[in-house]
Amino acid sequence: MRDRFVEIRSPWLTLIGEHIEGDRNQVLDYWRVEKADSAVIISVQGDRLIFPKPVYRPGIAATTLDFPGGRIPPTETPLTVAPKILQRELGIPSIAIDRLEQLNETGWAINSSFSNQKLYGLVAIIDPNFAIPTEFITKTYTLTETSLQTLKKDLTCLQCRAVLLEWRDRVF
């Protein structure tokens, strides 16, 4: 990097413009984003995957089906933020989480040429006797290969698909 010509901070991200020297000794304007890391949580109860209500995504101007997820504040870890996300998105209190497992210790780079953000995948096994409030659930998928193939078609979020495939490779 030769110099930073702009830095715009917001609660969601920091946008940075820099001049960098390219491989042909030319100076390029380069833009990148710094964001908090993300957690995506596969929620399993009995023989089904549980999904919260779809969320509107301004970047694609569409409502999408996603696993529960959110940002990881700098003072937290994927394992400490996951119960809060499950409470917020599915109404599941931490006492109803039988097991919480992190799929990757080192975060996966989401877009390494443009952003520093990393993705952490987790799996939460929910107490089969806990009644998840119906107002939180939008859809469920059974744990069969046919149902998981349908789910793959329904998920447009690449982060959700990556976590699903990582988990599926370990379980099936």
Report pLDDT digits (tens) over 39-53.
999 999 999 999 999
Ranges of each domain in the chain:
3-33, 36-171
Compute the mean pLDDT over every residue in the chain, rounded to the nearest whole number.
Answer: 94
Q: Where are the beta strands (DSSP E) in the chain?
A: 3-9, 14-21, 27-34, 38-45, 48-52, 55-57, 62-64, 69-71, 97-102, 108-109, 118-126, 137-142
Other C-beta atoms within 10 Å of 90: how many? 24
Residue 1 confidence (pLDDT) above 80 = no
Residues contacting 100, CB < 8 A, separation 6+: 79, 82, 83, 122, 123, 124, 125
Which pTM was predicted? 0.91
127-142 residue pLDDT tens: 999 999 999 999 999 9
Topology adopted by domain 36-171: Nucleoside Triphosphate Pyrophosphohydrolase (3.90.79)
